[in-house]
Amino acid sequence: MIVVFGSINLDLIFPLASLPTAGQTVLTPTARIEPGGKGANQAVAAARDGSSVVFAGAVGADPLAGLALAGLEAAGIDLSRVERTEAYTGCAAIAVDRAGRNHVMVAAGANLLARADQLEDALLGPGTTLVLQMETEPQQTAALILRARARGARIVLNLAPAAALAPEALRVIDLLVANQEEGAWLGTRLGTGVNAASLQQALGVGVVLTLGSEGAEAATDGGRVRIEAERVDVLDTTAAGDCFTGVLAASLDRGLTVEAGIRRANRAAALCCTRPGTQGSLPTGAETDAF
């Protein structure tokens, strides 16, 4: 079972010919509104891949909440541990250019009110893969990691966006997933090289670094591996990282090795990049396996 503690947003997506520079106004004839948030996206990715998923997070008591939750509901995810708060529902503005590159701005809103105690201890045992990101309050994320470690869950932390986390929590996870920028940020803080092996040696936990069009590399107690990316015509990379993390977690949860999980996650993320949007771009497990 996958348990996700994370963010729920409503995304406003602007397809542009080119990303704006400082002070520049760029016009576009269309925009899309879609459910998003790193936590929600990763939960939907895991559910579409075939996993049973429980989600804990927070939305506002506002009209945006229903739209933000729609993708999670459609994926059949257990939302009984999502709370409505007096804060506004989290939202994001995303600009995407013709090469699929993006700029993302996020207003956290209710996501900062999500609490670790929304998840009971029974959901944090050895049969659970717990997935977390850094769009919720770091103290709550750390508290949940420590509880899950004590109860035997597998813990996957996506260090996105890059933010400080209590060392006693960071050093007891099972797998850290980060992109190049997040890895560089962490490497600077730790005084290490910016590669999976250096980070793994410094932290003592498994590390997966995603490298965009260059694929991904991993360093765990089982060894080191670098896996090339699948070659596709890229339309939109917005959800690629969340797709990768969600499918990797789902693959580990069903017993695959880290290397095999990365290969599946690479295929899923490649498919995701050929489609527009966030949750609407996430493939099913059958699509990933047939790719």
Of 220, 266, 261, 274, nearest to 244 (Cα)? Answer: 266
Are residues 10 and 64 in contact, defined by beta-carbon separation less than 8 angstroms? yes
- Which residues make beta-bridge pairs with 34? 11
Write out the chain in H/E/C secondary structure.
CEEEECCCEEEEEEECCCCCCCCCCCCCCCCEEEEECHHHHHHHHHHHCCCCEEEEEEEECCHHHHHHHHHHHHCCCEEEEEEEECCCCEEEEEEECCCCCEEEEEECHHHHHCCHHHCCHHHHCCCCEEEECCCCCHHHHHHHHHHHHHHCCEEEEECCCCCCCCHHHHCCCCEEEEEHHHHHHHHHHHCCCCCHHHHHHHHCCEEEEECHHHCEEEEECCEEEEECCCCCCCCCCCCHHHHHHHHHHHHHHCCCCHHHHHHHHHHHHHHHHCCCCCHHHCCCHHHHHHC
Q: CA 251, CA 64: separation in Å to the nearest integer?
A: 32
CB 87 within 8 A of CB 109: yes
Active site (catalytic) residues: 242
The amino acid that residue 73 corresponds to is E
